[in-house]
Structure 1
Amino acid sequence: MMRILLFLGTNLAVLLIASITLSLLGFNGIMAANGVDLNLNSLLIFCAVFGFAGSLFSLFISKWMAKMTTGTEIISQPRTRHEQWLLHTVEQLARDAGIKMPEVGIFPAYEANAFATGWNKNDALVAVSQGLLERFSPDEVKAVLAHEIGHVANGDMVTLALIQGVVNTFVMFFARIFGNFVDRVIFKNEEGHGIAYYVATIVAELVLGILATIIVMWFSRRREFRADEAGARLAGTSAMVGALQRLRAEQGVPVQMPDSLAAFGINGTLKHGLAGLFMSHPPLEERIETLMRRRG
């Protein structure tokens, strides 16, 4: 319920900012002067600006948000030989992948997980959970780190942000077309935007937002296979398979990654049926089988 309320509040704020921005930019309203027709070019430009602004802003603050929401502690000066090994391993993997050394951190979580984030491949953050470091072998930890370095080297954070920007644009675009149709055609409102426009637009954004999430999560699942391949290339296929098998053995442990970082972790919560459409990660069995075929 709180998530829905936050969504609605954000949407209303966007509508207010949009109205002010259109006036300042001299758009004189998105509605055309001749009845119920929309000025589609102006509407599409407006939706693209706000659709991409949200996703790109999230991308630019992703490292800061990751540190704040997970409690990640950055290793600036290694205090133990384990931290020294972690920094050395990430440095080696980054060099082999052709990217600059990312920031490295550890976050306090029992479940075995890791994530990578950052606005570009040469200014990234790679972090692993305390639980993963304690229970995984060095080869398995290296494979997990290689998987995350693969995300960074493939530019997955930027790609996902751009995809999110595209779907945001069309969610806003078609929701406002629907809102205009309800307001003008069904309720016969010919003067400005009536309450029907705002209600219909919000409802349409909720429905289209769910469909858009399915699209984004499909791309996210495709990304995982590429990162697994990168992990196998950098750390060895056997080590990558072993790490995924260890993750599968721990599937009973709840994954408590923040929603904003779930798509960038090595592991995700397993869902079945229609809920599987909203998974950020493919089933571990499928990922293991794919790597086994690659090794064969």
Structure 2
Amino acid sequence: MKRVLLFLATNLAVVLVLSVVTSLLGVNRWLTANGLNYQALLVFCAVFGFGGAFISLAMSKMVAKWSTGAQILKEPRNSSEMWLLQTVERQARAAGIGMPEVAVYDAPEPNAFATGMSRNNALVAVSTGLLRSMSQDEVEAVLGHEISHVANGDMVTLTLIQGVVNTFVMFLARVIGYAIDQALFRRNSDENSGPGIGYMFTVMILELLFGILASMIVAWFSRQREFRADAGGAHLAGKRKMIAALQRLKAVHEPSTLPANMMAMGISGGQLAKLFSTHPPLEVRIEALQKVQVA
């Protein structure tokens, strides 16, 4: 679950920073010099909306490592790490992707995540709690689930969707912010003076609010991709193993200790409200997987 919320949090921060920088550089004044230029504004929002999303994607591995304290396994120190590396390598080869970086992070709950900018530049990380509480068959299935996320290009697709969402969030925030500024703060003595300071603060607040609401769209998309990743994990590790892994996760009731901005990127569900949940309920996933025909 960590993959998505980390991306969302990073994206929201990047978009807000870009908004402040462009305001300080006078871009807003240029866009509203002769009234609101909707075409120029839409192009501007698309460039920065998609730019913010792809910057977030490029930062995803670095932020994931920093947020969890994940340690990259370069050389196996024991048989468990050797098995982990060999399993990921075998599954990556079967899925037709490059060997991802493999990492372990210290956390008591069973969890795992995959992130990265492309199919051949990814990171797969598992928690120490997952390695302790699951059998090798179950861990293999979890790894297959995460490798499937990478092979399916979920992070890139998510980035494109986030770019579209960012574009409309930025566009609507500025249109509404301009209307509020003209209605409440406009200076009649100088009609061409551009938006006032009220415009900048209104846009920032609206971007934050719209960005949070837009996260529901991205979360919905994430929930749909989980079913496909479960099917991919069943293909790579075996349907029985994938179902057993989900059942094991369902039986675990430990509260998550992941950072709040990482809750949407791992294998197990979080405590977010239903509309913001990035994963379907485990019982729904198990039921859907039982109906999947695996070759």
TM-score for both structures, normalised by structure 1: 0.88
Question: Closer, same or farther in 2 for the Cα pair 1:239/1:91, shift >3 Å?
Answer: same
Equivalent residues of 1:115, 1:261 under 8 A apart: no
1:132 aligned residue:
130
* CA displacement 1:255-281 (0-9 Å, x = unmatched): 23334443331112144xxx2001111
Contact 1:143 1:236 in 2 (8 A): yes
Give the corresponding residue for 2:22.
Answer: 18
What is the root-mean-square deviation in Å for CA atoms of aligned residues?
A: 2.4
Q: In structure 2, what is the equivalent of residue 235 of structure 1?
A: 237
Q: Which of residues 252, 269, 277 is equivalent to 2:275? A: 277
**Code of the aligned partner of 2:208:** L
Is 1:192 aligned with 2:216? Answer: no
The residue number in structure 2 matching 1:76 is: 74
Answering whether residue 205 of structure 2 is matched by residue 203 of structure 1, we say yes
Q: Return structure 1 stretches of 4+ with deviation > 2 angstroms.
A: 6-16, 19-23, 185-191, 256-264
AA at the equivalent of 2:226: E
Note closer, same or farther for the CA distance 1:28–1:207 as it changes in structure 2 (3 Å cut): closer
**Counterparts in 2 of 1:198 and 1:22: CA distance versus 1, 3 Å:** closer
Distance 2:17 2:58 in 1: 21
Tell me the SS of whatever aligns to 1:111.
coil
Matched residues in 1 for 2:12 and 2:103: separation? 35
The 8 Å contact of residues 60 and 118 in structure 1, kept in 2 or not, is answered as: yes
Residue 29 of structure 1: aligned partner: 30
- CA separation in 2, counterparts of 1:268 and 1:260? 14
Residue 14 of structure 1: CA displacement? Answer: 3.1
In structure 2, distance between residues paired with 1:74 and 1:111: 19
Secondary structure at the counterpart of residue 127 of structure 1:
strand
Aligned counterparts of 1:8 and 1:214: Cα–Cα separation in 2: 13
Contact 2:91 2:236 in 1 (8 A): yes
Q: Secondary structure at the match of 1:268?
A: coil
Q: Decide which of 102, 105, 112 is 1:104's aligned counterpart.
A: 102
**Pairs within 5 Å for 1:166-177:** 166-177=164-175
Residue 255 (1) aligns with residue 253 (2): no
Q: Distance in 1 between matches of 2:228 and 2:246?
A: 14
Match of 2:144 among 119, 143, 146: 146
Residue number among 281, 288, 291 corresponding to 2:289 in the alignment? 291
Following TM superposition, by how much is the alpha carbon of 1:9 offset from its aligned partner in structure 2, in angstroms? 8.8
The answer to whether the 8 A contact 1:106-1:127 is kept is yes
CA distance in 1, matches of 2:131, 2:12: 40
Preserved contact between residue 103 and residue 125 of structure 1 (Cα < 8 Å): yes
Q: In 2 relative to 1, CA 244–278 (structure 1 residues): closer, same or farther, beyond 3 Å?
A: same
Change (3 A) 1:139 1:7: closer
For 2:71 and 2:22, locate their aligned partners in 1 and report how far apart those are by CA, in whole Å: 38
State the percentage of identical aligned residues. Answer: 54
CA displacement at 1:195 relative to structure 2: 3.0
Tell me how far apart the structure 2 counterparts of residues 289 and 180 of structure 1 sit (CA, whole Å). Answer: 49
Gap change, CA 1:270 and 1:283, over 3 Å in 2: farther
Q: After superposition, what is the alpha-carbon deviation per residue over 1:71-115, rounded to whole angstroms, capped at 9, x for unaligned?
A: 111111111011111111111111110111111111111100000
Q: Distance in 2 between matches of 1:94 and 1:151?
A: 11
Give the Cα separation in 2 of the matches to 1:246 and 1:266: 12
Cα distance in 2 between the residues matched to 1:276 and 1:153: 27
| AA of the residue aligned to 1:243 | A
If asked which structure has higher relative contact order (CA below 8 Å, sep 6+), I would say: 2
Q: Which runs of 5+ in 2 are unaligned?
A: 1-9
TM-score (norm 2): 0.88
> Cα 1:261–1:9, aligned 2, differ >3 Å: closer, same or farther?
closer
Distance 1:151 1:42, change over 3 A: same
Unaligned stretches of 5+ in structure 1? Answer: 1-5
The alpha-carbon deviation at position 286 of structure 1 amounts to: 0.6
Cα contact 2:14–2:52 (8 A) shared by 1: no
Decide whether the 8 Å contact of 2:264 with 2:270 is kept in 1.
Answer: no
Q: For residues 61 and 212 of structure 2, what CA distance do their matches in structure 1 show?
A: 26
Specify which of 162, 165, 169 is matched with residue 164 of structure 1: 162
Match of 2:226 in 1: 224
1:13–1:115 CA distance, 2 compared to 1 (3 A): closer
How far is 1:294 from its partner?
Answer: 1.8
